Structure 1
Amino acid sequence: MSGVGRLAGQVAVVTGGGRGIGRASALALAAEGARVVIADTGCSREGEGGDEAVAEAAAEAVRAAGGEAVATAADVSTAEGAQSAVELAVATYGGVDALVTCAGVMRDRTFLKASAEDLDAVWSVGARGMFVMAQAAARRMVSQKRGGRIVTVTSTAGLYGVLGQGAGAATAAAAYGLTRVMAIELKKHAIRVNAIAPVARTRMTEDLPMFASGGLSEETYGPAFVAPAVVFLASSASGEMSGEVMSVAGTKVSRYRVQESVGAVADDPRRPWRGAAGFGRADW
């Protein structure tokens, strides 16, 4: 399986690859010929504990399907853990061509009830972890002088807010901002960076209102629907596309963007600002 497909000969590192979207992505990347390094501590949804068997089970699933994969329980929220995942890819397969950052934890707390520890737990993996992992992979890609692809997995919470996801929204918004910066700075090295903001039923989201009601099942909104978008962005099929945010919700695929209103120049600061806030022509 590793000799054919859109990613034949490529090496992909997938963080959070032991379960959910990460596991589905690892399987899909391998099915397209990539050799995969799966990094996952096997922690709980809230970031507690760990189980090395989680990453290894996902790697075994890839191998059982005819692909190539190795596993690591490295903590990619640390610079040392991120670097060790890259070094494993280099030592095992010779380099890094694609990175997919699926690692994350969740603390489902409303803003007034969330603690600073909740924010630290989510931020350390989803924001700092994404930063140090992408940095380690990008540095390797730059040294290889053959470009690369980075796919970050963010959240709709960081784009338009979700009840109970203050820590997650802050982290996801940071991930979006970093994706944009990386796209700008890494362009000269032929490294393309894009994000996916998925709507998918996983162990992370199954008790959120939109999924707990039972209307959105894994059969219609599962991780398998997100994986093809990951493959697209991790391969040459996405061309020069960079700095974009895709949404995948079941069979629906769309793109998010930040939009600025037409605005107006206020010749009198005492005038109301309502007109400038609209997306039509401002009426002063």
Structure 2
Amino acid sequence: MINLNLLRTFCTLVEVGHFTQTAERLFMTQSGVSQQIKKLEQSLKTQLIIREGKSFYLTQNGEQLYQQGQQLLANANALSTSFTEDSHYQGKVSLMSPGSLGLKLYPYLLSIQQTHKALSIDYQFSSNRGIEQALTEHQLDIGLMTALPVGSDTIAQPLTQEPIVLVTPSQCETPDWQALQTLGFIDHPDAQHHAQLLLPANFSEFEHISQFSIRGKSNQISLILMPVALGLGFTVLPLHAASAFSEQNAIRIHHLENSVSEQVYICHHRRAQAANRVAFIKREIDAYLNTENSSNQQPSL
């Protein structure tokens, strides 16, 4: 294996073209430079330079070593720098969250990336189970979950509360039990979970989602409210998803008397060593989601 210190001395000598000046640049003696060149030749079992008085020229092997050695030294320097320079504003940060949080959070994180263009935000939507699996497999820097992880490899810290709301067509001003029965339910992957959180706290008649006629279903977070907007039924969603729907005039978001929220956790792998950029994004997420009127907030710099 080639000694990088000896190689660095050799390449510097070739660039400078003079033993004395090379010694000065490397803070060595001239004899020290000569000794290192000799050790390099011995380790490679080939002659690299031919001296002519106070000057020298490269052998064919010396020329080849210089060309390849420059690249080797550059790669070694880049590798070293990648470990010693841990910027808050450079590199990729990978995140996953449920769709509702993503609709609110992803545009904000992109505004941060516009300010710090060397950052790369990799944002995916997934279920709690999918998020925990990605964290366990070290495929993710940050996971935002609405349930505590099952396994011991994932560390979860409470982050914020996400309100759960009832959403009806805009013409439904008073969503009493009879009105909901008439409308019917628009189903989605987390519908039963959200309904079980909100409806029993506000309707004594509620026992199970099967009490309603299912009038449609979508697994795309941005499309769940489309049938609601068309008057085809009602649903129960996190507030972030309801507020992000493009046709707000066609729906009505109801904050019921007994409000209900689900806990949001920010998660990482137990053995993950967070880079500065990951810690920076975590702080931004915390500040954004926990600040009143956050929709008008600009990213902190």
Report if TM-score (shorter chain) is over 0.5: no
- TM-score band, normalised by shorter chain: under 0.3
TM-score (norm: length of structure 2): 0.26
Of Structure 1 and Structure 2, the greater strand share is in 2
Q: Highest Rg: 1 or 2?
A: 2
TM-score (norm: length of structure 1): 0.28
